[in-house]
Amino acid sequence: MKNVKLYIATLMGLLTGLFALSASAQTAEYELDGMIFGMPEAEVYTEDYDGPPVVGETITLLPNLAPLTYEGNKHHEIRLDTFVQEIEVANGVRYRAWTFGGTVPGPVIHVREGDKITFTMKNRSDQEVSIVPPVDGQAASPFLQQVNENPYMKPSAAVMPMPHSMDFHSGTVAKNDKWRTISPGQTIQFDWVANYPGTYIYHCGTPSVLMHTAMGQHGVVVVSPKEGFETDEKVDHEYVIVQSEYYLMRGQGDLYQYDFEAAQNKRPSHVTFNGHANILHQQPLTANAGDRVRLHVSNNGPSLTSSFHVIGAIFDKVFYEGHPFNETRGMQTVLLGASNSATVEFIVPEEGDYILIDHEFADAEKGATGTLKAGPKQ
C-alpha cells in the first residue's frame, strides 16, 4: 500500500517535471549586433562528483589574472562549486563563509569578449570540501595551485547545507532559468556568452541575497575586449582588486558570525580588498618606478560604495566598467557603486610605497586599504 503511494507520488512528480519542461519557452540561439543570445535551457541534475571544486585554465586567486594565451575566441568549460569554508578575514577574525570555490571573494575568471562559457556548479554545502594541501587535482585550475601555495585566508572545510545559485553579471540570460536555485547535492549547468567586455561581478542570487552575498558568495569575471585596450603593449603589471564588506559579530566560541542587523543597516564590521583586511599590506602588489600598472577594480558590495584612489598616483586612464570605449583621463578617484567596476591605469612615479584606498575613510579604517611597493626604475 505504502509503496503504491510512493510510486504514485513519484509518477506525479515526473509528470509535473515533463509538463514544466514542455511548458517553458526556450529562445533559440540568434545573433544581434554581432553578439549571441538565446542559450539552451539550464540543466539541473545530481552527480557523484567529488573532484576538484574549481576547474578551468584561466581561473586564478586574487589579485592574479591568468593570461589569455589563445587567439580569437574559445569555448570554456568552467566549474565553480559552492561550499562552506571557515576563513580568516582579518587578524583573529574567522567565520564560516558561504563560498564559490572556497575563498571570499571567489576565484577570478578570465575570458575574452565573444567567448562561450559552459558553466557547472555543484552545491556541496553539505559536504566537507578542502582546498588546501593535500589536495588532489590541483592541476585543474591555476586557482587551486595558487591557493595551495598561498592560503592567505587559512581556509578549513565546514558543513552548512543551504540552497544556492549563481548570477553572472557578465551573462545575458533569463534569470529564472540560468540563475535558478539548487539545493545541496544538486548540480546546475548552463551556457552564457561574454557579449560585452568589462569586469563583472558574480554572486549568489538566492534570497536573502543580502545574506548570501554578505556571507561571501561573490567574485568577478574579467572579460577582456576582443580588440584589446590601446595601452596593452605598455602595461607592465595587471592585477585584480575586489572591494567587499563583511557584517560580522562575535558568535559562539572563537568564531564570528553574520550580523543581520548590521547588514540591514549597512554598518559593516570590515571593508576589505580581496577579502582580507590586511592581505594587501602583508603581501603588497609589486611594480617598479616608471611602470604602467593596470588594476581591474570591482566593488562587490553588497551594499556600500567605493571611492577608489591610489595615494601618490593619478589614474592616467580609466575605462569605466572595463569597457575600452568608456575612457576617461586624469582621475584622482573613481566612484564605484555596489557591482560597478573600472579598469584603471597609472604610472608609478618613483620607488616607494603607494596605498590603494577607499577614500571614504570610515571604510578605509575598517580595512579597505592595501599597498603597492615600487622598486627602483629598471
Partner 1 sequence: MMLLNKLHRVTTGILVMALALLFGWVDSVSAQAERVWIPDGSYHSLFPETEGEPLQVHGFYLDETPVTNSQFLEFVQNHPEWQKERVPRLFAGNEYLRHWESGLEPGNETLSEENRPVTRVSWFAASSYCEASGGRLPTMAEWEYAAISLDLESVQEWETLGYELIGWYSSVDAGDLREVGSDDRISRFGVRDLHGLVMEWVEDFRPPIADDISFDCGTAGRLQSDETSFSYARVIRTLTRMSYTPQTSIGILGFRCAYDGDRAKAGDQLKDLSER
Give least dist CB 158 to partner 1, A: 7
Residue of 22, 69, 91, 176 that binds partner 1 (CB under 8 A): 176
For residue 254, state whether it binds partner 1 (rule: CB under 8 A).
no
Give the footprint of partner 1 on residues 133-172 (CB under 8 A). 158-163, 165
Q: To the nearest 10°, the Cα dihedral for 176, 181, 187, 190?
A: 20
Going by their DSSP bridges, the two strands 292-301 and 237-246 should be labelled as parallel
Q: Which of 67, 133, 137, 207 binds partner 1 (CB under 8 A)?
A: 207
Q: How many CB atoms lie within 10 A of CB 134?
A: 7
12: CB partners within 8 A, 6+ apart = none
Calpha distance 101→82 (Å, rounded): 6
- Residue 229 or 258: the one with the smaller Cβ distance to partner 1 is 258
36 near partner 1 (CB under 8 A): no
Taking the least distance from each CB to partner 1, the nearer of 10 and 328 is: 10
By CB neighbour count within 10 A (0-12 exposed, 13-18 middle, 19+ buried), where does 231 fall? Answer: middle
From candidates 64, 99, 181, 244, binder to partner 1 by CB under 8 A: 181
Q: Does 26 bind partner 1 (CB under 8 A)?
A: no
Amino acid at 262: A
**Given the complex with partner 1, which of 95 and 196 has the nearer CB atom?**
95
Whether residue 189 contacts residue 120, with contact meaning beta carbons closer than 8 Å, is answered with yes
Beta carbon nearer to partner 1, 208 or 328? 208
Our finding on whether 120 is near partner 1 (CB under 8 A) is no
* DSSP H helix total and E strand total for the chain: 7, 28
Verify binding: residue 46, partner 1, rule CB under 8 A. yes
C-alpha cell at 364: 578605509
Contact between 182 and partner 1 per CB under 8 A: yes
Query: Which helix H or strand E contains 13, and what residues bound it?
Result: helix 2-23
CB of 163 to partner 1, least distance (A): 4
Q: Residue 173 is placed in which grid cell? A: 540570460
- In the complex, what is the shortest distance from the CB of residue 180 to partner 1, in angstroms, rounded to a whole number? 7
Q: Does position 205 bind partner 1 by CB under 8 A?
A: yes
Containing 328, the helix (H) or strand (E) segment is strand 327-331
Q: Which residues are CB-contacts of 235 (< 8 A; sequence separation ≥ 6)? A: 229, 292, 293, 294, 345
Nearest-angstrom CA–CA distance, 363 and 304: 9
Q: Please, what is the minimum distance in Å from the beta carbon of residue 51 to partner 1?
A: 15
Least distance CB 169 / partner 1 (angstroms) = 12
356: β partners: 310, 370
When binding is defined by CB under 8 A, the residue of 68, 135, 209, 314 that contacts partner 1 is: 209
Contact residue for partner 1 among 35, 57, 116, 126 (CB under 8 A): 126
184 is a site residue for partner 1 (CB under 8 A): yes
Distance between CA atoms of residues 107 and 328, nearest Å: 28
Stretch that binds partner 1, among 208-216, 287-295, 329-337, 369-377 (CB under 8 A): 208-216
Count of residues interacting with partner 1 (CB under 8 A): 44
CB of 171 to partner 1, least distance (A): 15
Which residue lies nearer to partner 1 by CB, 176 or 378? 176
Rounding to the nearest 10 degrees, give the CA dihedral for residues 41, 44, 49, 55. 40
- Residue 351 phi/psi, 5-degree rounding, is -60, 140
Q: Which residue has the cell 551594499?
A: 303
User: Between 59 and 98, how does the x/- string for binding to partner 1 read (CB under 8 A)?
Assistant: ------------------------------------xx--
Q: Residues in the site for partner 1, rule: CB under 8 A?
A: 2-3, 5-6, 9-10, 13, 46, 48, 95-96, 126-127, 158-163, 165, 175-176, 180-186, 205-211, 215, 251-252, 255, 257-258, 260-261
